[in-house]
Amino acid sequence: MSNTTDMTADQLAQQRKITAEGNPAKPAGTAGEQMLARMNKSHAECTAWGRSFFHWRGDENVLDIGCGGGANLRNMSKKIHTGHLTSVDYSKTSVAASKKTNAEAIAAGKMDIIEGSVETLPFADESFDKITTVESFYFWPDPPENLKEVARVLKTGGTFLLIAEIYGHEGLPAEVQENIQKYHLYNPTPETFEKIFRAAGFTFAAVHIEKQHGWVCVEGRK
């Protein structure tokens, strides 16, 4: 759900066309590839802000849920020296785009990107020190229930960051509200975020708000 305030009417119309054809819930086809390339750039600032709530050692086992175009993985890989990164996405187009973005890290054995769903993560309990999801939680099949899977594969003492450009509050722009309805986005309030994180098994939950842009980063720990 990127910011469109600086775009011309023609650019905005073209972006909306690509988004509709590419399907932000599950990117597909040429339009999906174009949308993912755009998102790698348009989500960069929000994602960097969200990742700032991590404290890195360099040896972590990291999972990214919903890899999109792969930019978040690429940036996290710079923090990992002796650890490993894994990503799962249920879109074949997203998996292919992320593999292309991170070809060097994959070839070096530092990263794996696989097709799969957050509904049933193909990993053992307590597998990851750090987990992220960026701009994907909106589209999860059953977000409160799926959070239990995230908590299951997170190590005790680990941290999960949910990063998004919007959250539920009064004053959301009309265009954002239209997108919420159009794409059936799950967009909780900060209070609901904290409630569903704790219900999913996170012993600590904190909601960070970037007030200038209205971004949200929900931090969960076990």
pLDDT in tens, 49-104: 999 999 999 999 999 999 999 999 999 999 999 999 999 999 999 999 999 999 99
Best mean pLDDT range from 3-7, 15-19, 217-221: 217-221
Phi, psi of 143 (to 5 degrees): -50, -50
Domain ranges in the chain are: 9-221
What is the per-residue DSSP string for 144-169? Answer: HHHHHHHHHHEEEEEEEEEEES--S-
| Confidence band, pLDDT 50/70/90 cuts, at residue 25 | confident
- CA dist., res. 19 & res. 27, Å (int): 9
Token pair in block for residue 126: 């307590």
- At residue 209, the pLDDT reads 98
* Multiple choice CATH, 9-221, 3.40.50.170, 3.40.50.150, 3.40.50.300, 3.90.1150.10: 3.40.50.150
* Mean pLDDT over the full length of the chain: 92
Bridge partners of residue 219, in order along the sequence: 161, 206
The side-by-side arrangement of strands in the sheet containing 215-221 is 111-115, 84-89, 61-65, 128-134, 154-164, 215-221, 204-210
| Confidence band, pLDDT 50/70/90 cuts, at residue 10 | low
pTM of the model: 0.91
Does residue 7 surpass a pLDDT of 80?
Answer: no
Does residue 1 surpass a pLDDT of 70?
Answer: no
* Sign for the pseudo-dihedral over CA of 93, 70, 182, 14: negative
Mean pLDDT computed over 151-178: 96
